[in-house]
Structure 1
């Protein structure tokens, strides 16, 4: 299907979109409306500016993305070639990717300005002109820990020690379902069927600390499996693998968990719809009608402070 240039973005829902709205409605406006079409050569400078700021990352986020990318690569290599990447290989690639993010930020700013999706720009380098060295070294040191825990995790051991008992689902670039006419995006790190246990297993690699909403996020993924594969809730196992601590959290959900998640999601959608002028086109209200957060300390670390605080 050819890419279609739309005046306004398609309305959809995802956990990341929901989290952004909870953080700050004005940030939500910049991320999902003001930056729309900012990747196009012919876009106006306002949209390009908002899009560039949206693509800023920081060391913790870059670290998390790198770990997820390498976890996916390690699984893919084993499934395709039967090869298990070593901890040393993962660390070397992780360091290389972190270094590239730094070098992009230091030496390739003009290239990033032109193609912000292709190059990296670290928040501290953009706003402060230098990296927080202590933070950078801390995250470089975590590579050894997270990749050792990844290789020893229950999920990775399932994959590599008893592959004949596992039935893997091909990763889809965009998984989504429709609930009450709204497209719901679902991003799963790993999905497979444990044939011995008769279970669908949904795995989410986590590079940070445990959080309250980790379980509810997986409840959305479980609902997706129920809709797409007609699975019963008792046939689904959800699993958070915390690779920094080495902790595994495995849950068996109940119908009540799914119902609670759906109710929270619909409430979130209802709030998002308040910022539409037109429900068909998804034309937004004016940017000053997206209120700024009351917690002004969040503004100091926000990607969009350059344009938001100037208004």
Structure 2
């Protein structure tokens, strides 16, 4: 039975770690202030923080839609159903993007009441207009056909089509591992075993540009997979990024040091998170004012919480519309 608790459970993920490093006030809003904000009985600040937390931007929305539809395509293949054409997949992605725009511009009242079930784009919410920047729209339009074409041509999708030689593992089974009682969350896009090569393969689809963090992310997944399936040698694990924008399939050479590094990363990060707790046994955070604001306006301009951090500016903008 679901139980309402005053504080969330302490957990770790790469996204949580990156948020903590980027802005501690955003970290507080994301993981503490917004807790229980979906409840009608929650206080106003919690509801507001939860609502703002659910705002997305055009690039993130595009990536989320592409990931969801790629998952659906792969499931269709594995179940022996008809595979959509590139054209139909492009149309489906475009449909979801258009729906997100409509929800942001015409259904804000629905989003305010059920922010988890409707889309609100950052570019719409904070510009107080019903239009998107033309340069961003053009960028996503350019990415759309390229991304879909490169997905169908990717090494990993070829493996999916060659499923008689592959053993696919439901990625939904991968949730978390524990370290010192803290859950370390794992979200894998695609996992399978190449039966001919006797290798495990972990795939992460990327709809944006390459990042130095990509290797660490896959190393974390490999560490989890090794523990879950008692894989003796890391040489039996292949980690692969599929960069759909560039059309590049990049496999990283996994080493023991990679696994040690990622273990150190989350262990040190968890200890840092605990420094901002008033009571570690309850995961009760310090008062909000003890989470410093970001002082880089470029970071703040992309943040969901401008309305909370700079209420005077936001109120002034709203009154001028």
Is this a same-fold pair by TM over 0.5? yes
Preserved contact between residue 174 and residue 188 of structure 2 (Cα < 8 Å) = no
Measured in 2, the distance between the counterparts of 1:127 and 1:118 equals 20
Preserved contact between residue 57 and residue 121 of structure 1 (Cα < 8 Å) = yes
- Alignment of structure 1 residues 6-85 onto 2, 5 Å: 6-85=5-84
- Alignment of structure 1 residues 216-295 onto 2, 5 Å: 216-231=216-231, 232-295=233-296
**Aligned match of 1:170:** 170
Alignment of 1:212 with 2:208, yes or no, is no
Preserved contact between residue 189 and residue 205 of structure 2 (Cα < 8 Å) = yes
- Alignment of structure 1 residues 116-127 onto 2, 5 Å: 116-127=115-126
Q: CA deviation at 1:117?
A: 0.3
Q: CA deviation at 1:47?
A: 0.4
Measured in 1, the distance between the counterparts of 2:168 and 2:101 equals 35
Q: CA deviation at 1:181?
A: 1.6
Q: CA deviation at 1:172?
A: 1.6
Alignment of 1:153 with 2:154, yes or no, is yes
- The Cα offsets for residues 106-164 of structure 1, whole Å up to 9 and x where unpaired, read as 1100000000000000011111123213212320231110000000000001111x211
Preserved contact between residue 236 and residue 252 of structure 1 (Cα < 8 Å) = no
Measured in 2, the distance between the counterparts of 1:70 and 1:141 equals 18
Alignment of 1:100 with 2:99, yes or no, is yes
Q: CA deviation at 1:248?
A: 1.0
Q: CA deviation at 1:174?
A: 5.8
- The Cα offsets for residues 83-114 of structure 1, whole Å up to 9 and x where unpaired, read as 32211111011000000000000110000000
Taking structure 2 as the reference length, what is the TM-score of the superposition?
0.94
Q: CA deviation at 1:13?
A: 0.1
Preserved contact between residue 49 and residue 305 of structure 2 (Cα < 8 Å) = yes
Measured in 2, the distance between the counterparts of 1:191 and 1:133 equals 37
**Aligned match of 2:316:** none
**Aligned match of 2:201:** 201
Taking structure 1 as the reference length, what is the TM-score of the superposition?
0.97
**Structure 1 residues 299 and 221: alpha-carbon distance in aligned structure 2, compared to 1, 3 A threshold:** same
List gaps (5 residues or longer) in structure 1: none
Give the 3-state SS of the residue equivalent to 1:81 in structure 2: coil
Measured in 2, the distance between the counterparts of 1:242 and 1:171 equals 19
List gaps (5 residues or longer) in structure 2: 313-321
Q: CA deviation at 1:51?
A: 0.5
Measured in 1, the distance between the counterparts of 2:11 and 2:100 equals 30
Give the 3-state SS of the residue equivalent to 1:192 in structure 2: strand
- The Cα offsets for residues 285-307 of structure 1, whole Å up to 9 and x where unpaired, read as 01111112242321122100110
* Runs of 4+ displaced beyond 6 Å: none
Q: How many residues align?
A: 309
**Aligned match of 1:89:** 88
**What's the Cα RMSD here?**
1.2
**Aligned match of 2:190:** 190
**Aligned match of 2:319:** none
